[in-house]
Amino acid sequence: VRLVESGGGLVQPEGSLRLSCAASGFTFTNYVMTWVRQAPGKGPEWVGSINYGGTTSWIADSVKGRFTISRDNAKNTLYLQMNSLKPEDTAQYYCARPVLRWTWGPGTDLDYRGQGTQVTVSS
């Protein structure tokens, strides 16, 4: 199993970024996929998840209305579109696969995640 995130960087407040996660080594379409983030000195925070076909997503209240999750199953790729970014969104962002492939939400057991991509929101 391999998950490789990309697309992070330094952005000004109210800016946008789109993160990508390229998945390989497993049947991508069989899994709900998740984004989590971790800010310095804090524990992991669930950002959101998306179902197998990409028709339903669930987003944390802290980013609802600003972040959107999508997936392209033909490309085995997961996305996180982040708009109206705030300094408190600064974190390392990871895509992750759950232990139980249908599960999602805070506290979900995750068995694989990528190396992460850093997002820094600062003026």
Given a cut of 70, the residues of the chain with pLDDT beneath it are: none
What pLDDT score was predicted for residue 18? 98
Task: Please state, in angstroms and as integers, the Cα–Cα distance from residue 31 to each residue in 34, 59, 97, following that order.
Answer: 9, 17, 7
Q: Is residue 18 within a helix (H) or strand (E), and if so which, with residue range?
A: strand 17-24
pLDDT of residue 25: 97
Residue 82 confidence (pLDDT): 98
Q: CB-based burial of residue 28 (10 Å sphere; 0-12 exposed, 13-18 middle, 19+ buried)? A: buried
